[in-house]
C-alpha cells in the first residue's frame, strides 16, 4: 500500500470517527459515557506510562562509579615537517 492510499484511509477514518463521536456526545442516550470513556483512556494511559517509568527505575541496576584518573601531562605533538614543493618559474 502506498503512502497516498494510507493517508486517504487515515483521513476518511478520522472524519468518520469525528462524525460518530459528535453523534455519541450530543444525540445518543449514552452521551455521559462519551465523556467518561475518553477521559478514562487518557488517565489510564498516563498512569501506565508513569508506572512503566517507575518500574524501569526500580529494576535498573545502579551504574558503576567512574574512577577519576589523574590527567596525563600533554606531550608536545610531533608534527612531520611539511614539505613545500617549489614551482618552476
Mean pLDDT of the residues in the chain = 88
Predicted model pTM: 0.58
pLDDT digits (tens, 9 = 90+) for 21-30: 999 999 999 9
Alpha-carbon gap, residue 74 to 58, rounded angstroms: 42
> Which residue range forms the structural domain that includes residue 55?
3-59
Residue 89 in any domain: the answer is no
At 83, is the pLDDT very low, low, confident or very high (cuts 50, 70, 90)?
low
Residue 45 in any domain: the answer is yes
- Measured over the CA atoms of residue 45, residue 47, residue 48 and residue 54, the dihedral's sign is positive
Residue 25 in any domain: the answer is yes
Q: Is residue 22 a contact partner of residue 14, using CB atoms and an 8 Å limit? A: no
Residue 53 in any domain: the answer is yes
Amino acid at each position: 500500500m502506498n503512502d497516498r492510499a494510507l493517508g486517504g484511509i487515515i483521513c476518511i477514518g478520522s472524519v468518520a470517527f469525528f462524525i460518530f463521536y459528535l453523534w455519541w456526545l450530543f444525540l445518543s442516550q449514552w452521551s455521559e459515557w462519551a465523556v467518561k470513556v475518553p477521559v478514562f483512556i487518557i488517565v489510564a494511559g498516563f498512569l501506565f506510562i508513569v508506572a512503566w517509568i517507575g518500574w524501569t527505575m526500580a529494576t535498573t541496576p545502579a551504574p558503576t562509579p567512574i574512577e577519576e584518573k589523574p590527567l596525563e601531562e600533554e606531550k608536545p605533538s610531533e608534527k612531520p615537517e611539511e614539505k613545500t614543493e617549489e614551482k618552476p618559474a
